[in-house]
Amino acid sequence: MSAVRAEWTKLRSVPRWVATFLGALVLTVGLSALAASGSTTDANEHPDFVTGPHGDAVTDGFGFAHQAVTGDTTMTVHVTGLARAATERAESGAPGTAVPTTPWTDIAAGITLKAGTEAGSSYVSVLLTGSHGVRLQGDFTHDVAGSAAHGDRWLRLTRTGGTVTGYESADGTSWTRIGALTPAAIPPRAEIGMAVSAAPVLHVSRGGGGSSVGGHPGRASATFEDVTLEPATDGTWQGTAVTMPTPADQPAKVGGSTAPTPRVLTASGDTSTVTGSGKVGPQRPDDDVVEGALLGVVAGLMALICVGVLFGTSEYRRGMIRTTFAATPRRGRVLAAKALVLGGAAFAVSLVAVVVAFVVAVPILQDHGMAPPAFPSPSLGDPAVVRALVLAALFMTGVTLVALAVGMLLRRTAPAITLTIVLLVLPLVAGTILPGTSPRWLMYTTLAGGLATLRAQPPTDTLAEPWALIGPGAGIGVVASYAAVGLALAWWQLRRRDA
């Protein structure tokens, strides 16, 4: 404890260090506000989305062979032959890197219970996907994983009161419950039937400081056999292409992508083939409001790097390190005390800085177009926002400790500051220039990957910023590794070198 008290006294008794900490706070908040003021989007002025039952931006396009039911009902089908259309496969050689599919963007076929055929209406579906197994999805937000089955599957959807339950089976005899959802707004009289969707196939070209996304509409078909509906109805199956609304100055769209409307339902005896185009799911943009509000972290880091290096080199420059080691002969304890004091102060300042930056910059971003419904409205109570703020503060703290370690290793201020900044900035610049998804591994292995902590949205391949390619956990992990290895090397050098 005496070593910790001594290091704390050193840190707070140097006015320029205290001023630099305050400067880090001001820089973080100021640059975040400045960057927010320079950001603009017209996503809400030219929407290619509708709002779902919860008010979020969604996309809703698929082939639907349906009929009306009232009250409790159970539908069972055997799904086979799910595949993309041959013409789509022929177009798969589009330039750029293919964007990986998710459970929301994979081709899918199954049973859907929906409030109506209007895009954005409440629904629950049990689906067999192309590569993500069986899923129970509802209201564009809920996704429950079933088995990893592919190829063919028996599916069942049961509504009992306000609850809709999904089941799957390999043989139509032994059934496994996937889960149950309570949709927000499905009335007693609703539409139920066979559904097929195929999201647009996207390709992204990255590099040279920018990115562009292109692609072509998706289309898929599936065969449905042994279709039963209980209780039976007098209705007949009707084929409807559920489509997104299209602005008057644009060509017709299917599921949000330009394409001719295919024939939805083809029946032959007891077998039905359904063809669908479009995506059913959330439509949040990859741009992240939280990330946009925290870009000032980069400026704040420059100040914290200076403090971190000086906290390690200043005693060597004045020769006071000998006095420190005389008072505390165990040098590892001195380094641990420095890291603890500096890390605690850096985290406290960083956390205040990112919280204030978020509070200041988010309203500016919303005034410039990053507002609902196209963008979510983040708040300090959102778990994803809390995670981003805490991890961003830890990222800043980790880089500060790396600077301390480099300072202790080099014992010279200017080279140590330069090296630490290069370790952070050079991979960032290289990652912005390199093409495709190659910067992903650069982010996994360098300090620049820590910028992934600023994002509340999931990783994406479509943005120019390279840190968006990885998740926040990976980002903070690589920074923590650098700090741990750097401090370990500094400890090793302290034990073997003269003061």
pLDDT digits (tens, 9 = 90+) for 429-448: 999 888 878 899 999 999 99
Name the pTM for this structure: 0.83
Fold exhibited by the domain 50-282:
Jelly Rolls (2.60.120)
Sheet strands (E) in 85-122: 97-98, 108-114
Return phi, psi of residue 428, to 5°: -65, -45
Exposed (0-12), middle (13-18) or buried (19+): which is 43, by Cβ within 10 Å?
A: middle
* Residue spans per domain, the chain: 2-41+287-496, 50-282
235-270 pLDDT, tens digit each? 899 999 999 876 544 444 444 444 455 689 998 888
365-379 pLDDT, tens digit each? 999 999 888 888 899
Q: At what angle do helices 15-37 and 331-367 cross, to 10 degrees?
A: 30
Exposed (0-12), middle (13-18) or buried (19+): which is 210, by Cβ within 10 Å?
A: exposed
DSSP, res 56? -
- Look at residues 363, 428, 351 and name the one whose alpha carbon lies nearest to residue 397: 351
**Cα distances (Å, whole numbers) of residue 114 to 52, 122, 281:** 12, 6, 14
For residue 422, the one-letter residue type is V
196-215 pLDDT, tens digit each? 999 988 888 777 767 777 77
Cβ count within 10 A of residue 374: 23
- pLDDT surpassing 70 at residue 18: yes
Q: At what angle do helices 2-13 and 331-367 cross, to 10 degrees?
A: 50
Of residues 58 and 318, more confidence is placed in: 58
